Structure formats: C-alpha cells, structure tokens
C-alpha cells in the first residue's frame, strides 16, 4: 500500500537552468582511477618512509 | 588508453613502457567502466532508462573520463525530461574532450533555440511549483500545474509519476494508470513506476491482487467491472440509472441549446445571406434593365433614323416620279416629232403633244437634256407659227362670241407659241378683264404696254389700266 506522504518525500525539486553551472562545479568527479592513483602514491610514500626507518 | 602517470599510450603489457608504472589495476578499472557503459547502452536501447542511468553512473564512477558514457547518460537524462542534468553531463563531457565531441551538438541544439530553453525553464519551474503545492496540501492546484508541465514536456517522467501519485491519492485509478502507462512507454523499467502501477492494477482488479482495505472493498462492491479490449472498465452500479437520466437530460439540453443557437446565431446569418443574395439579384436585374433600356433607346434612335431615311427615300421616289415625268415629256416629244414627220399638216396633233411637254415641264423642276431642248425648239419653230395661228383663230372666235372660258386658254397658247402676236395678248387681257379677273388683266395689259409700246393696243391697255384704277 502506497503511503502518499512517504512517496511525496521521494520527489525533489528539479534543478533550474540558472543553477546548472553551480551544480556542475559542485559535482564530485572523483572516480576509481583517481582513488587507485592516490592509493598507489600513498603506498609508494609509505614504502619510502619504511625504507628510511630501516636504514 | 593512456598511462595515469605519464600520459603515454599503454600497450598490452601490465606496465607502462614509458615510465614503468604498474597499470594492471588501472586497466581493470577502465575495462569495468567500459563494461558498465556497454551495459548502459544495451539498457538504453531497450528503453530501460533507469537501468541505463544506473549502469552509466557506475561506468563514470570507475572512469570519469569515459566521454561516451557521459554523453549517453546526458542523452538518457534528456529523454526522461531531466534537461538540466543532461546539460550538466554534456558540459562536463565537453570540458573533458573539447574537440570532436557530440556533446557540442547536443548543447547547441538546446542553447541556440532560445524559445526551447525558455520552455524547458518554465517546465522545471512549474514542476517545482507543483511540488510546493503538494507539500502545502493544495493537491488540486498541483494537478493543474502538472498537467501544464506535461503539456510543455510530455516526456518528463517525474512529473508523470507525481501526477499519478496524486491521482492514486484521489483514488482516480484510471487516470493514474494512464499516466503510469505513459511513464512505462518512456522508461520501461522505472522502479517507482512499476510500484505505482502494481498498486493501481491491484485497485482496478482487486480479485487478482492482494487483500483490499474495507473501505475500498465496499467501494468495489458497488461497481460493475467488464473488459473492453485491453482496458478494464469499472462502472458504479448505484448511479447507473441516474447517469442514463442525466444523459437524456443533457441530450435534451444540448438539443435546446442547439435550436437556440440555430435561431439566434445561424438563422440571422442565413437571413442576412439571403438578403445579400436578393440584393445581388436585384442589382443584376437593375443592370439588365438599364442595359435593355439603353438598347430600347438605341433601337428608337434607329427607328427615327429609318423613318427619316424613309422620308428621304420617299422624296427620292417622288423625285424619281418626277424623272418619270421627264420620261413622259421625252415620250411626248417623240410622239410630237413622229406626228410631225407622219403628217406635217396636222399641227394641232403636234401641238397637243407639245402641250403635254409644257404641262410636264410645269410640274417638273426643269433641267432637260440639251438634245431634248434642241428637238423641242426645232419642233416648236416648225409648227409654232401654225399652231399659234390655229390657237389664235379659235381663241379669237370664242372671244368674239364672249365665250371667255374657251378664249382664255387658246389665246394663252397662241401667245406662248408666237410671242410676237400682240393681238393675242391684248385680247387675252380683255378676256381676263371681262371675266372679272382684274389681277391677271392688269398684269397682261402691262405686258402689252411693255412688249408692244407705241401701238394702239398699248394705248388702249393704258386706258383700261386707268379704268381699273390702282391696285388694292
């Protein structure tokens, strides 16, 4: 049984054309590739730090 | 595919041949992204737009630089009526690949047509307004607003769904189903659409669905359901008869309104048109009348001309008759000549013919030919003295016997054929005087005095003139 009030909450106002620019700027464009690169960089950094500590 | 570290093109190896970076995981990420893109494309092809959006978003989560996936996502958004979301994806896509990007065309398509852009903006604003009405519990206003939205953008799925939700709330199941069917035609596998549709179908066909609430069950008991093609018609039982009466009543009112319209609107127009036709006919008849009047006038003029011509011809005819008279004169002259040549002694016969010529000449206007005049004068010279003498003898005999009626014409002829015969003229004057024709007598006496001056006849004539006295 559909609850009108609950269903209504699922509807959100649409972005107007004037707000499109702001929406584009605020969009989070981070992807898995970015995360992987970040992880790889951090891993390399950790390895370097570990090597320094051993020495 | 390029290396995430140095930007060089990658080979089939799991490391970059330029910088030596390990790209095995990176390659897998790109492959997954492409796989989601393919999945999204397949779903979009079968109009599973919701599924396509999910797959394409996944694809972009793995690789934000997957321009094809982003462009397709924008296209799917546009198809569902989410124009701003579509524009956002295309703008990002264009930034990622400024050249040779189809997103350029999509953006131009929207931005170059200002009216279309305005319509899109109006649609979004009206949708937001409708949502506000819903939250303010002004559901009727929301329905009206959503209908306007859908008239501007019939593919706006969220608007269809919200309108269907409002219909469901008002228990207008048929209308709700209609909206949801439209949603399903645009996006076949939208979760919200499917859920609402299931609810609506349960309400329309309660025996096939799950349990009903008591309120709705009671309601369903009061209805008659029947199948019409693919549609299930639900008709309330208790208002069935009333509906028939209402239909008849509406029909009657419609007929009355129709008659009223015919009387007050159509009939005057028809009358006006008929009057206009009559006026037109009258005008045409008037024109014809004028034309005929002009023709009659023309004919009258022709009659007058013909009458005039007839008169002229009559005159010509009379002139011709005159010519005939000339011919008679010629004939008389020929007879006179013939009579003279046959018997020169019968001067009286010749004189009679010549007399006819004289009479014709008196009636005619003159103008005889030269040969005619010559012959006439010749004959007159040949027979004139004899004729004159004969007429004088007869005239004088009658004068002596006081028979002036015979004397006058003979004496006139005698003087005409012999102008030197003063006795004939004198006796003619006396004959006039004695018959009481003083006018002619006076004229003739004067001729005697003028033509024969110094003679006894002239002196006697003077005496008679004195005796008669002056003219009146």
| Nearest-by-CA chain A residue for B58 | A31
The correct CATH number of B135-235 out of 1.25.40.10, 1.10.3720.10, 3.30.56.10, 3.90.1150.10 is: 1.25.40.10
Q: Three-state DSSP class for B8?
A: coil
Tens digit of each residue's pLDDT (9 = 90 or more) over B349-389:
887 887 777 666 655 545 567 788 888 888 877 877 888 88
d(CA B42, CA B465): 158
Question: B326-468 in CATH: which number?
Answer: 1.25.40.10
Closest in B121, B162, B199 to A17, CB measured: B121
Q: What is the domain extent for residue A29? A: 4-54
**What value does the CA radius of gyration of chain A take, rounded to a whole number of Å?**
23
Contact B327, B357 (CB under 8 A): no
Instruction: Report pLDDT for B214.
Output: 46
Instruction: Report pLDDT for B116.
Output: 83
Question: B24-112 in CATH: which number?
Answer: 1.25.40.10
- Number of inter-chain CB pairs under 8 A, A vs B: 93
Closest in A14, A27, A40 to B84, CB measured: A14
Token pair recorded at residue B359: 């009479």
The secondary structure of B290-357, three-state, reads HHHHHHHHHHHHHHHHHHHHHHHHHHHHHHHHHHHHHHHHHHHHHHHHHHHHHCCCCHHHHHHHHHHH
**Alpha-carbon distances, residue B291 vs B277, B282, B287, B348, B371 (angstroms):** 21, 14, 6, 71, 60
The number of folded domains in chain A is 1
Closest in B61, B62, B91 to A24, CB measured: B91
ipTM over 0.85: no
Domain residue limits, chain B: 24-112, 135-235, 326-468
The band of B321, judged by pLDDT with boundaries at 50, 70 and 90, is low
Instruction: Report pLDDT for B472.
Output: 47
Tens digit of each residue's pLDDT (9 = 90 or more) over B386-420:
888 888 888 999 998 888 888 998 888 888 888 88
Q: Per the confidence metrics, is the pTM higher than 0.90?
A: no
Element (H, E) at B236: strand B231-236
| Nearest-by-CA chain A residue for B117 | A17
Mean pLDDT across chain B: 84
B91/A19 touch (CB, cutoff 8 Å), yes or no: no
């Amino acid at each position: 049984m559909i609850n009108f009030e609950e269903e209504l909450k699922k509807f959100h106002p649409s972005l107007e054309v004037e707000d499109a620019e702001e929406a584009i700027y605020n969009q989070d464009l981070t992807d898995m590739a970015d995360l992987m690169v970040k992880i790889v960089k951090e891993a390399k950094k950790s390895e370097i730090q570990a090597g320094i500590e051993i020495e | 595919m390029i290396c995430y570290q140095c930007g060089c093109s990658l080979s089939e190896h799991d490391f970059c041949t330029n910088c030596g970076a390990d790209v095995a995981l990176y390659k897998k990420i790109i492959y997954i992204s492409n796989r989601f893109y393919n999945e999204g494309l397949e779903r979009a092809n079968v109009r599973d737009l919701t599924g396509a959006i999910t797959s394409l978003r996944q694809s972009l989560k793995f690789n934000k630089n997957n321009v094809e996936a982003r462009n397709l996502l924008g296209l799917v958004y546009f198809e569902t009526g989410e124009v701003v979301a579509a524009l956002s994806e295309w703008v990002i896509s264009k930034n990622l690949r400024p050249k040779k990007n189809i997103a350029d065309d999509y953006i131009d398509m929207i931005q170059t047509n200002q009216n279309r852009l305005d319509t899109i903006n109006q649609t979004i604003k009206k949708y937001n307004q409708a949502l506000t009405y819903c939250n303010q519990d002004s559901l009727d206003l929301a329905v009206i607003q959503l209908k306007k939205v859908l008239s501007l953008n019939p593919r706006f799925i969220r608007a269809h769904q919200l309108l269907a939700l409002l219909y469901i709330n008002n228990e207008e199941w048929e209308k709700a189903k209609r909206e949801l069917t439209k949603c399903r035609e645009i996006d076949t596998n939208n979760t919200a659409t499917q859920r609402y549709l299931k609810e609506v179908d349960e309400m329309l066909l309660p025996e096939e669905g799950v349990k009903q609430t008591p309120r709705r069950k009671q309601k369903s008991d009061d209805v008659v359901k029947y199948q019409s093609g693919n549609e299930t018609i639900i008709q309330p039982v208790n208002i069935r008869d009333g509906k028939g009466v209402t239909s008849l009543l509406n029909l009657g009112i419609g007929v009355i309104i129709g008659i009223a319209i015919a009387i007050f609107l159509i009939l005057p127009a028809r009358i006006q048109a008929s009057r206009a036709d009559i006026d037109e006919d009258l005008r045409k008849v008037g024109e014809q009348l004028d034309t005929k009047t002009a023709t009659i006038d023309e004919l009258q003029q022709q009659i007058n001309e013909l009458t005039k011509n007839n008169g002229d011809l009559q005159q010509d005819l009379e002139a011709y008759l005159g010519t005939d008279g000339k011919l008679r004169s010629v004939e008389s002259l020929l007879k006179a000549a013939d009579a003279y040549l046959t018997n020169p002694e019968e001067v009286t016969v010749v004189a009679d013919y010549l007399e006819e010529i004289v009479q014709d000449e008196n009636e005619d206007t003159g103008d005889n030919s030269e040969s005619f005049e010559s012959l006439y004068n010749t004959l007159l010279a040949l027979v004139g003295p004899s004729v004159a003498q004969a007429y004088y003898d007869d005239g004088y005999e009658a004068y002596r016997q006081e028979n002036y009626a015979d004397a006058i014409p003979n004496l006139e002829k005698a003087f005409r054929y012999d102008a030197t015969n003063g006795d004939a003229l004198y006796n003619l004057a006396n004959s006039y005087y004695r018959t009481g024709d003083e006018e002619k007598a006076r004229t003739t006496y004067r001729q005697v005095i003028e033509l024969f001056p110094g003679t006894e006849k002239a002196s006697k004539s003077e005496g008679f003139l004195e005796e008669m006295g002056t003219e009146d």
